[in-house]
Each structure stands twice: as structure tokens, then as C-alpha cells.
Amino acid sequence: MAETLFYALALAAVGFAVGVISARSPMLSVLSLLGAFVCLALVYLLAGFQFLAGAQVLVYAGAIMVLFLFVVMLLNLADLSKVAEHPTRVLGVHRVALAGGSAALLGVLALLASRRIPDTAADTAMLARGFDELEPIAVALFSRYLLPFEAASLLLLATMVAVLVLAKRARAPQGPREQAQAVDAHGDARGDASDAARELEGAGLR
């Protein structure tokens, strides 16, 4: 029963993942990502990781997804779906790199699938009580992994500052480098919707 459910969830997760990368609008893509996250959370649950499943739902599906959706809604990126896409002209990575990368990935896939794993059955006693009981994890986090825990807090602090630096609106321009751009940034901000749409189209056609 659980096994069937796993394969169904795995299939759904892959389906959602395909949705993420093939959706025309960012909104659909982000919603597919949400689906994939939830499927994976259920897979974790089936595999005996209750705590991680919870964390996955709370942090990924909860916090990160809200962030994504917030930005998508804020920027009204739905407009972007009108812009024609050039699938192979990406980021300066050309067709060759693309084909090579995909081929290499398929190779990895085949390798992994064919890898013989000596012990396929998980410890049944462990399966019953789960692999990530809260108590041992909490103890490990505050003893053996105390230092990474503290490093993570620094990481979050730095990220917070980094995000604030990047996302807050630029103040009145002071450096000469900014002055050149200031007209752009502020003039644009009040441009009407049709202007924005025209700019978008121009950007896509270039």
C-alpha cells in the first residue's frame, strides 16, 4: 500500500517538476513547484522522516513559496508570458553546452539507477519509529553540530542584511555612478502600464 502510494507520489512529483520548468507563466511554474514540494513532503513522511516532512511543508511550502508568490504578484510577471521565449539562447550558454549538459545528466541518471545497493531494505525497527526522531536531532544540533548551528545563524543575519541592501529602494543618488541611472530608475517607476508592456516586448525581441 505505502509502496504504491510512493510510486504515485514520485510520479506526481516528477510531473510537477516538469510543470515547473515548462510552464509558460512564472505563476504556473511557482504553483507547480509548490505541488512538487508537497509531494516530496509526503514522500519524506512515507520514508520515515516525520520531522523533515514537517519542516519541508512549513519552510518550503510555507515560507519560500510565499516569498516566490509575493514577488510574482508584486511584479505582475504574468505579462511576461506574452514575451516569446528563445529556449536555447540562455545566459550565454549555447546549444552545445546544453546538449552536453543534458547528456551528462542522463548519464548520471542511468548510473544511479543501475547502481547496485547491497542492502535495499531499511532497518524495520527504524522504519517503525522514524529516522529523524526529534530528540536525538535536537541533542545533536546543540552538541555535535553546535558550530554549524551558530554558522547558520550568521548566515541568516548576513542574508537579512544582504536582502535589505538589495531590495530597499535606492535613496537620492549621491555617487556619480548612480546619477546616470537615476533618471532611468525613477522615471520608470511612474511609467504607465502600456509603457511597461512596450518595454517588455522590446526586451523580448532584442
Under rule CB under 8 A, which residues in 84-103 are in contact with other proteins? 85-93, 97-98, 101-102
| Residue linked to cell 510512493 | 6
Residue of 185, 48, 54 lying closest to 130 (CA atoms): 48
Contact criterion met (CB below 8 Å) for 49 and 132: yes
Name residues whose C-beta falls within 8 Å of residue 84's C-beta, 6 or more positions apart in sequence: 204, 205
Q: Nearest approach, Cβ of 93 to other proteins (angstroms)? A: 6
Interface with other proteins, residue 21, by CB under 8 A: yes
Task: Considering only residues 161 through 200, tell me which ones interact with other proteins, judged by CB under 8 A.
Answer: 161-167, 169-171, 173-178, 180-182, 184-185, 188-189, 191, 196, 199-200
Residues numbered 138-157 forming contacts with other proteins, rule: CB under 8 A: 140-141, 143-148, 151-152, 154-157
Running DSSP on this structure, what letter comes out for residue 47? T
- Determine which residue in the list 8, 73, 82, 127 makes contact with other proteins, applying CB under 8 A: 127
Largest separation between any pair of C-alpha atoms in the chain = 67
CB of 42 to other proteins, least distance (A): 11
Q: With CB under 8 A, what is the number of residues at the site for other proteins?
A: 125
179: left (phi over 0), alpha (psi -120 to 50) or beta: alpha
